[in-house]
């Protein structure tokens, strides 16, 4: 029997490879080599699975930042940790989740929570660097636009340019240090 976490990781992989229309009980069970009984044992049904998958996705970045001691090294160290986290996001899966959000209210609400959390987290760190709340909001919006735009435009697996984009974004933010 597969664990809940294995289901969530498999779901992100299916999303990355086939988009939200390819994500279903059958695809997950085939990917994990389990029967649908295992799925229903863990989640009860599709709505329960979607809810828990979205919670897993939302909480993933919080856990990663905690592992990196986020919040203990000052704004510059936190900004670097955020850029590293951004490079390691499941970009194809996130693009699929954003597409799914346009078609499902539950997913749309989760997407909004993730975007809002990112804006709050990045905004606080950027404000710590630039010393100006209004400028930090603008730079934070620019950073999120870079991420989302790249995720929507990049071909599957082609995220090398993101490192260059984030490097330029980092230079911009640091050039505005207060």
DSSP classification of residue 155: P
**Residue 1 has which token pair?**
């029997």
pLDDT at position 154 = 79
Cβ pair 125, 78 in contact under 8 A: yes
pLDDT level of residue 153 (50, 70, 90 thresholds): confident
Mean pLDDT of 72-96: 93
Q: Kindly report whether the global pTM for this prediction surpasses the value 0.75.
A: yes
DSSP 158: -
pLDDT confidence bin for 157, thresholds 50/70/90: low
Would you say residue 58 has pLDDT above 80? yes
Query: What's the whole-number average pLDDT of the chain?
Result: 93
3-state DSSP helix/strand/coil % of the chain, to nearest 5: 80, 0, 20
Q: How far apart are the first and last CA of the chain?
A: 54
Task: Give the pLDDT of residue 65.
Answer: 83
> How many whole angstroms separate alpha carbon 116 and alpha carbon 106?
15
Q: pLDDT class for 156, splitting at 50, 70, 90?
A: low
Rounded Cα gap, residues 153 and 159, in angstroms: 10
Task: Extract the tokens encoding 87.
Answer: 């490079």
Q: Is the domain 4-175 a CATH 3.40.50.10700 member?
A: no
* The pLDDT value given to residue 155: 65
> pLDDT of 11-33, one tens digit each?
999 999 999 999 999 999 999 99
pLDDT at 24: 97
């Amino acid at each position: 029997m597969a664990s809940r976490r294995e289901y969530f990781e498999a779901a992100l992989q299916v999303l990355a490879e086939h988009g939200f229309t390819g994500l279903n009980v059958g695809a997950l069970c085939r990917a994990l080599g389990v029967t649908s009984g295992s799925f229903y044992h863990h989640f009860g049904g599709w709505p329960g699975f979607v809810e828990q998958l979205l919670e897993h996705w939302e909480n993933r970045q919080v856990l990663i930042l905690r592992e990196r001691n986020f919040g203990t090294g000052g704004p510059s160290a936190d900004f670097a940790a955020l850029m590293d986290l951004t490079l390691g996001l499941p970009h194809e899966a996130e693009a699929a989740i954003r597409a799914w959000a346009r078609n499902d209210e539950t997913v749309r609400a989760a997407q909004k929570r993730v975007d809002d959390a990112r804006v709050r987290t990045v905004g606080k760190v950027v404000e710590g660097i630039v010393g100006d709340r209004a400028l930090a909001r603008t730079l934070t919006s620019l950073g999120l636009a870079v991420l989302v735009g790249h995720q929507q435009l990049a071909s599957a697996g082609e995220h090398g340019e993101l490192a260059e984009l984030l490097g330029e974004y980092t230079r911009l933010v640091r050039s505005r240090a207060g």
